[in-house]
Chains A and B, each alone.
Chain A
Amino acid sequence: MDFMKEIERKLDLPAAEKSQVLRELRSHYEELRDKLIASGMDAAQAEQEAARRLGDPEDVAARLRTVHCRATWKSALLAAFPFAGLVLIRAVWRATVGIGVTDGWLQVTLLPLVAVCLGLLMISGSVRELALGRRPIWLATWLATAYLALRDASRIALIANAGSHQLMHTRSVLFYGIEILVLGAATWAFRKSPKWRNFYLVLTLLDLGIKPFMNSIHDPTPVVLLITQELVISSAIMGLALKLFAWHPYGNVAQPSLFLWVLSTPTSLHTRWLDGTGYAVYYAVCALLMVILAGVTVLIFARACTPQRKLVVLSAGLLAFQQTDWLASGACASSSIAAVVCGMALLVWVVLIPMFLQRLRRGRRPEFAR
Chain B
Amino acid sequence: MPAPTELVKGNASVLILSCLAREPMHGYKIARELDQLSEGYFVMREGTLYPHLHQLEKDGLVEGYWETVSGGRERKCYRITERGKAELARRREEWLRFQMNVNRVLNPSPQAFSS
Knowing A53-B45, A54-B46, the reply to whether A64 touches B51 (Cβ < 8 A) is yes
A24-B76, A28-B28, A31-B73 as given contacts; A67 in contact with B54, CB under 8 Å: yes
Identify the stretch in A55-63, A91-99, A103-111, A303-311 within 8 Å (CB) of chain B at 4 or more residues: A55-63
Main secondary structure of the interface of A (DSSP, over half): helix
B54 near A55 with CB under 8 A, answer: no
Residues of B within 8 A of A56 (CB): 45, 47
A30 at the interface (CB under 8 A from B): yes
Q: A30-B73, A31-B75 are in contact. Are A59 and B54 (CB under 8 A)?
A: no
B interface size (C-beta, 8 A): 17
CB-CB under 8 A from A21, the residues of chain B are: 50, 54
Q: Which residues from B are CB-within-8-Å of A31?
A: 28, 73, 75
> A60, B28: Cβ atoms under 8 Å?
no
Q: How many residues of A contact B (CB 8 A)?
A: 24
Q: Which listed residue, B46, B54, B58, B75, touches A27 by the CB 8 Å rule?
A: B75
Q: Assess the A27–B51 pair: CB atoms within 8 A.
A: no
Residues in chain A near residue B39, CB distance under 8 A: none
Q: Complex: how many Å from CA A57 to CA B50? A: 12
CB neighbours of A55 from chain B (8 A): 45-48
B24, CB-defined interface residue at 8 Å:
no
Return the contact of B54 from the options A23, A68, A72 (Cβ within 8 A).
A68
By beta carbon, the residue of chain A nearest B9 is A63
In the complex with contacts A67-B54, A68-B54, A57-B76 CB distance below 8 A: no
A60-B73 in contact (CB<8A): no
The residue of chain B having its C-beta at the shortest distance from the C-beta of A60 within the complex is B47
Cα A30 to Cα B47 in complex, Å, equals 13
CB <8 Å contact, A67 and B55: yes
The answer to whether B73 and A64 touch across the interface, beta carbons within 8 angstroms, is no
A32 within 8 Å of B (CB atoms): yes
Q: A55-B45, A67-B55, A67-B58 are in contact. Are A25 and B50 (CB under 8 A)?
A: yes
Q: Give the complex CA separation of A23 and B32 in angstroms.
A: 20
B23 adjacent to chain A (CB < 8 Å)? no
**What residue in chain A is nearest B30 (Cβ atoms)?**
A28
Question: Which residues does chain A contribute within 8 Å of B6, judged by CB atoms?
Answer: none
Task: Flag if B27 contacts A59 (CB, 8 Å).
Answer: no
Whether the Cβ atoms of B45 and A54 lie closer than 8 Å is yes
Q: Which residues of A contact B75 (CB under 8 A)?
A: 24, 27-28, 31
Q: A30-B73, A31-B73, A68-B54 given as contacts; is B47 within 8 A of A25 (CB)?
A: yes
Which of B28, B31, B48 is in CB contact (< 8 Å) with A63? B48
Report B64-81 CB contacts with A as 1/0, cut-off 8 Å.
000000000111100000
Q: Are A27 and B73 in contact (CB under 8 A)?
A: yes
What are 10 A-B interface contacts by the 8 Å CB criterion? A3-B47, A21-B54, A27-B73, A28-B26, A28-B75, A55-B45, A57-B47, A60-B45, A67-B51, A68-B54
| List of 7 A-B pairs having minimum Cβ-Cβ separation, nearest first | A55-B45, A60-B47, A63-B51, A54-B47, A55-B47, A27-B75, A24-B76
